[in-house]
Structure 1
Amino acid sequence: MRVAFVGKGGSGKTTLSSLFARFAAVEGGAVVAIDADINQHLGLVLGLEHDRLPEPLGGHLTEIKDYLRGDNPRIHSAAAMVKTTPPGRGSRLVRLDDPFFQGGFCVRAEGLSLMVTGPFAEEDLGVACYHSKVGAVELYLNHLVDGPGEYVVVDMTAGADSFASGLFTRFDLTFLVAEPTRQGVGVYRQYREYAADYDVPIAVIGNKVQDEGDVAFLRDHVGDDLLVWLEHSPAVRAMEQGRPFTLGDLEPANREALATMLRRLDDQPKDWEKFGRQAVEFHLRNAEAWANRATGEDLRAQVDPDFTFGPVPAGSPA
């Protein structure tokens, strides 16, 4: 299952995505956590210093494209492959333990694998868009075949920035982290409005809740989308300050909140048909809007109408 953590900047989505990834791993899941935020802090809250971070996905786009396109005859080169390019027959589909990604692009921390898009490099400043780096995550998710007990947890850019491509449709569930403030629920309204036409499941996670008044505020503004909330936590503050931390340090109510989130994700139906349909839809949109012009090719031809997304059924040719 794939889950995105979104929300207003400063809402605590990086902290919550790290806690959730740890919890899913402790519960026995195979977990890949991806830092896709322009502010690259997920590794830090997982206890990794900067010199232990993996190679950034955004710095190796050509290698990643060459690997994923495999022998797909519809994709002539890495240069013709854009962030929305869907897989087809001949493409290399990947699992969570794929050796290409589990090599230099992953490090182990807290029982899970961490990947990062990477920050802006000096040569990017003033000339590049961060979506070019996040595009590596979209390509990875487009080519990923994840199974039961496997989780991809993505810490996304703040606000509604993920709507700049089809990335927001690449998840089984989106956790929107909201503080009990007007700004926090404002991002929720914006995200829900943008996602309304695309059948994107959203569950709101209240954060930094101090009393019943905060809970009532969230209920008033997000209604039934409020799944659970986390109380103000001295243990989490200690973690954020770099002090020793384990999930056992969490307050019982906050640990149960993580369990509720995992149950909600496990209960979400996996819809490969919708996933594939929306991958093609957004690729065609991007081809028409900019990608055909950028590559000098008609990228509509990259869509393989006979390709089926998801696991290969038993007895079918690979």
Structure 2
Amino acid sequence: MRVAFVGKGGSGKTTMSALFARHLAAQGAPVVAVDADINQHLALVLGLDRQPEPLGAHLTEIKDLLRGDNPRVPSAAAMVKTTPPGRGSRLLSFDDLAAHPYGLTTPEGVRLLATGPFSEDDLGVACYHSKVGAVELLLNHLVDGPGEYVVVDMTAGADSFASGLFTRFDLTFLVAEPTRQGVGVYRQYHEHAARYDVALAVVGNKVHGPSDVEFLREHAGGDLLTWMEHSAAVRALEQGRPFTLDDLEPVNADALSLLRKTLDEHEKDWARFGRQTVEFHLRNARAWANERTGLDLAEQVDPDFVYGPRHP
């Protein structure tokens, strides 16, 4: 199952991504975390003292791997971030993703991948979505199964909608502080997500009392799934002091359990995933990719390719 954490900058989505990934790993679940935020802090919050090798620096290599011998994609240069898989493409199992050579493994067993930060050469000439494209391609070609978890820390705010990556998930958790700014991002995200059948649940964060909960209920309604109360243990984590999941307050540990239960109960929809993969590829082809490559990228769509697990 793939889950994204989104929200306003400063809402705590990176911390929530890390806590949820740690929670899954502590229960023995296989989990890959991906830092797809322009501010690369997930490694730090997961307890690592260095960053993984950036995926964005190896985009051509990733394209060559994934295109396999698909005759509709003759070269890496013909492949863009939205290129869908087809017959002959290299499909990735969860184990393939977890074994990606540019990842790092945390002491708690979370495998971390990262898009990478802006480089000096990027400043003023490139947008961050060129790096996020590596994650979109990997998820387009991933065939994951029940009990396998991919947790992605997305870019802040509605900037997540600048690519089709926002449709690559089974469920999206929007982290919202009980403030007008926090719920403002929720309203914006909810409006966009509803157009594309994106499953969305709100996780309140930094909640100090019943009035905060009521504020979130008033503005998020039935989308409010649960909330994290203000936590001394989480503050210690964010300040770099010693932290384990056992330090979490019981109510906050219960919130993490509810996130997993909700994700596990969510049915994976491979048909929707396939439709949206093709839809966003064709939209990008018309908008910029045909001109960029000099090709008609609609021809990369394989109408006979079936998304999901291969069956004998």
Instruction: Report the TM-score when normalising by structure 1.
Output: 0.96
Superposition map of 1:82-97 within 5 A? 82-97=80-95
Q: Take 1:309 and 1:292, find their aligned partners in 2: how far apart are those partners?
A: 24
Query: Which residue number corresponds to residue 270 of structure 1?
Result: 268
CA gap 1:241/1:171 in 2 versus in 1, 3 angstroms: same
2:19 maps to which residue?
19
Give percent identity, aligned residues only.
Answer: 74
Deviation at 1:103, TM superposition (A): 4.2
Does 1:106 find its partner at 2:98? no
* Structure 2 SS opposite 1:60: helix
1:204 is aligned to 2:202: yes
Letter in 1 for 2:87: R
Task: Measure how far apart 1:102 and its partner are.
Answer: 2.0
- 2:181 aligned to which of 180, 183, 201: 183
Deviation at 1:28, TM superposition (A): 2.0
| 1:191-234 deviations in Å (ceiling 9; x for gaps) | 01111111111000000000000000000000010000000000
2:189 is the counterpart of 1:168:
no
Counterpart of 1:234 in structure 2 is: 232
Q: Partner residue of 1:55?
A: 53
Q: Secondary structure at the match of 2:95?
A: coil
* Deviation sequence 1:108-153 (CA, Å, 0-9, x none): 1121100000000000000011000000010000000001110000
Is 1:30 equivalent to 2:30 in the alignment? yes
Aligned to 1:134: 132
Q: 1:194 aligns with which of 189, 192, 195?
A: 192
**What is the CA-CA distance between 1:272 and the residue it aligns to?**
0.1
In 1, distance between residues paired with 2:84 and 2:141? 7
Q: What is the CA distance between 1:104 and its match in structure 2?
A: 2.8
Cα root mean square deviation, aligned = 0.9
2:275 matched to 1:282?
no
Shift of residue 286 of structure 1? 0.5
Does the Cα contact within 8 Å between 2:94 and 2:145 map onto a contact in 1? no
Cα pair 1:37 1:157 within 8 Å, conserved? yes
Aligned counterpart, 2:297:
299
Alignment-mate amino acid for residue 215 of structure 1: V
Distance 1:250 1:270 in 2: 30
Look up the equivalent residue of 1:18 and give its one-letter code: A
Q: Indicate the larger mover: 130-139 or 161-170.
A: 161-170
Distance 1:132 1:27 in 2: 35
- Give the whole-Å Cα distance in 1 for the aligned partners of 2:120 and 2:95: 32
Name the CA distance, whole Å, in 1 between partners of 2:18 and 2:70.
Answer: 36
The residue type equivalent to 1:92 in the other structure is R
CA distance in 1 between partners of 2:13 and 2:209 (Å): 20
How many Å separate the matches in 2 of 1:210 and 1:197?
33
Question: The residue matched to 2:169 in structure 1 has which SS?
Answer: coil
Query: Which range moves more in the overlay, 134-143 or 159-168?
Result: 159-168
Q: What residue is the counterpart of 1:158 in the other structure?
A: 156
Point out the more displaced range, 108-117 or 31-40. Answer: 108-117
* 1:61-115 Cα shifts (integer Å, max 9, x gaps): 000000000010000110110010000000000012217x624311111211000
Partner SS state of residue 243, structure 2: coil
Instruction: Name the SS for the 1:160 alignment partner.
Output: helix
Distance 2:129 2:33 in 1: 18
Conservation of the 8 A alpha-carbon contact between 1:54 and 1:104? no
User: Using the alignment, how far apart are the partners of 1:297 and 1:49 within structure 2?
Assistant: 43
Give the CA deviation at 1:24: 1.0
Q: Tell me the distance in 2 between the aligned counterparts of 1:44 and 1:265.
A: 25
The count of aligned residue pairs is 311
Give the deviation of 1:29 after TM superposition.
1.3
